[in-house]
Amino acid sequence: GENVGLHLPTLSVQEGDNSIINCAYSNSASDYFIWYKQESGKGPQFIIDIRSNMDKRQGQRVTVLLNKTVKHLSLQIAATQPGDSAVYFCAEKGSNTDKLIFGTGTRLQVFP
Amino acid sequence: SAVISQKPSRDICQRGTSLTIQCQVDSQVTMMFWYRQQPGQSLTLIATANQGSEATYESGFVIDKFPISRPNLTFSTLTVSNMSPEDSSIYLCSVMGYSGANVLTFGAGSRLTVL
C-alpha cells in the first residue's frame, strides 16, 4: 500500500516556541489528510484535518499546511505548551475509500 | 465525539492462547475498524468490521489469526488467536460516522503483552 512518512522522528522544543511537524505522503490520489495526537496510554485524538482543495487550515493554536505539488503536509503548533508533548501522526485517505493510512509518527518533547 | 470503550485495557497472555478484545460504542456508527500499533510504531489497519458480514482484512492479516465479529452497529470484537510474543501490541478500535461525522475516532486501545 501507499506509505505516509515523516522526516523527523523526534522534535524537541522549548515551551513557548512554535513547533513544526512535517509529513511526506506518496499517494497523489489522496484527497483528505488528518493530524492526530497520541498521548501515552491513550488512543490517537483528532487535531485538525484538511481537504486537497485547500492549502491551509487553522484551528486553535494549530495550523495545517498542504503542498500538493511536493506531496508535503505540516502541522504548526503555536506557543508550544508542555501539554503538547505527545506523538503526532499524519494520516491520508483517498476519495474512493474509508480507510486511513498513517505515517510513522513524530514525538514532540516540550522543555520548560 | 463518540465514546468508545475497549476491554480489556491491558492483559498479559501466555504463548499459544487466544484473547478477545471488545469494543463498545455509545451510539450507532457506520464504520468500525481495528488497528494494531506495535511498540514505538505507527498504526496499521488490520480490518474493517462489517455489520452482519465477514470483516474485510488488509494485506498481511487473515481471519484465522484475527477473527472479528460485528453483530450490530455499536459493538465489535477482535480475537488474537494462538498468540506469540510478536503479537504484543496495542490493538485499537476506531469508528467513523458517529453523528454523521467523517472523522475517525479511536478507543484508548488494548495493550497486550505475550510471554
CB within 8 Å: B45 and A46: no
Q: Is the pLDDT of residue A83 over 50?
A: yes
Give the tens place of pLDDT for each residue, B14-40.
Answer: 999 999 999 999 998 888 999 999 988
Q: Which of A 47-86 lie inside 8 A of B, CB atoms?
A: 49
Report how far Cα A102 is from the mean position of its chain's Cα atoms.
10
In whole angstroms, give the CA distance from residue B113 to residue A4: 27
Residue A112 within any structural domain of the chain: no
Q: Is the pLDDT of residue B6 over 70?
A: yes
C-alpha dist (Å) from residue B22 to A107, B34, B67, B80, B86:
29, 11, 12, 11, 21
Minimum CA–CA partner of A10 in chain B:
B40
Q: Is the pLDDT of residue A4 over 50?
A: no
In whole angstroms, give the CA distance from residue A37 to residue A59: 14
CB within 8 Å: A42 and B108: yes
In whole angstroms, give the CA distance from residue A58 to residue A40: 25
**Number of domains chain A is built from:** 1
Chain B residues within an 8 Å CB radius of A100 = 45, 104
Task: Check if A42 contacts B (Cβ < 8 Å).
Answer: yes
Residue A9 within any structural domain of the chain: yes
CB within 8 Å: A98 and B103: no
Q: What one-character-per-residue DSSP string does B31-79 give?
A: EEEEEEE-TTS-EEEEEEE-TTS--EEPTT--TTTS-EEEEETTEEEEE
Mean per-residue pLDDT, A68-87: 96
Chain A residues within an 8 Å CB radius of B107 = 43
Range of the domain at A100: 4-105
Chain A residues within an 8 Å CB radius of B33 = 99
Q: Is the pLDDT of residue A29 over 50?
A: yes
Higher-scoring residue by pLDDT: A96, B26: B26
Sign of the alpha-carbon dihedral angle for B7, B69, B63, B44? negative
Residue A110 within any structural domain of the chain: no
Across chain B, which distance is largest between two alpha carbons, in Å? 41
- Give the cell for residue A60: 486553535
Mean per-residue pLDDT, A41-63: 95
Residue A11 within any structural domain of the chain: yes
Q: Is the pLDDT of residue B98 over 70?
A: no
Minimum CA–CA partner of B57 in chain A:
A99
In whole angstroms, give the CA distance from residue A27 to residue A96: 13
**Nearest CB to B103; choose among A42, A46, A105:** A46
Q: Which of B42, B58, B92, B98 to mutate to test the interface with A (most CBs of A within 10 A)?
A: B42
Provide the CATH number for the domain around residue A30. Answer: 2.60.40.10
Chain B residues within an 8 Å CB radius of A36 = 106
Domains recognised in chain B with CATH numbers: 29-98 (2.60.40.10)
In whole angstroms, give the CA distance from residue A25 to residue A73: 8
C-alpha dist (Å) from residue A53 to A56, A65, A68, A91, B102:
10, 12, 9, 17, 17
